Amino acid sequence: MQAIRHYLLAVQFFTRIPITGRLAHWVGFSPAMLRASSAHFPGVGWIVAVWAALVYAALHAALGSNPFAPAVAAVGCTIATVLLTGGFHEDGLADVTDGLGGSYDRERALDIMKDSRIGAFGAMALVLALLAKCSLLALLGAHSLGAALAALVGGHVLSRWWPLWLVRCLPHVGDTAKSKSKPLADQISNFSLAAAGLWCVAPLALVWQLQSVLLVALAALCSAVAAAHMARRLARRLQGFTGDGLGAVQQLGEVGFYLGAALALGPLAQGVSA
pLDDT tens by residue, 226-236: 999 999 999 99
Query: 169-181 burial, b for 16+ CB within 10 Å, e for fewer?
Result: ebebbbeeeebeb
pLDDT value of residue 183? 64
In a domain, 269, yes or no: no
- The domain containing residue 215 runs over which residues? 2-264
In a domain, 273, yes or no: no
The pLDDT tens digits of the residues spanning 35-79 come to 888 889 999 999 999 999 999 999 999 998 899 999 999 999 999
The pLDDT tens digits of the residues spanning 81-99 come to 999 999 999 999 999 999 9
* Angle ∠(82,84,90) on CA atoms, nearest 5: 30
pLDDT value of residue 28? 86
Number of domains in the chain: 1
Percent of the chain with pLDDT over 90: 74
In a domain, 73, yes or no: yes
Contact between residue 94 and residue 114 where contact means Cβ atoms under 8 Å apart: no
**235 half-sphere exposure, CB direction, 13 A CA radius:** 13
Dihedrals phi, psi of 172, to nearest 5 degrees? -80, 135
In a domain, 164, yes or no: yes
The pLDDT tens digits of the residues spanning 201-247 come to 999 999 999 899 999 999 999 999 999 999 999 999 999 999 999 99
Q: At residue 159, does pLDDT exceed 70?
A: yes
Average pLDDT for 192-196: 92
Q: At residue 274, does pLDDT exceed 50?
A: no
pLDDT value of residue 203? 94
DSSP percent split of the chain into helix, strand, coil, nearest 5: 80, 0, 20
Contact between residue 44 and residue 15 where contact means Cβ atoms under 8 Å apart: yes
- One-character DSSP codes across 190-233: HHHHHHHHHHHHHHHHHHHHHS-HHHHHHHHHHHHHHHHHHHHH
pLDDT value of residue 30? 80
In a domain, 35, yes or no: yes
Higher pLDDT, 265 or 36: 265
Contact between residue 250 and residue 242 where contact means Cβ atoms under 8 Å apart: no
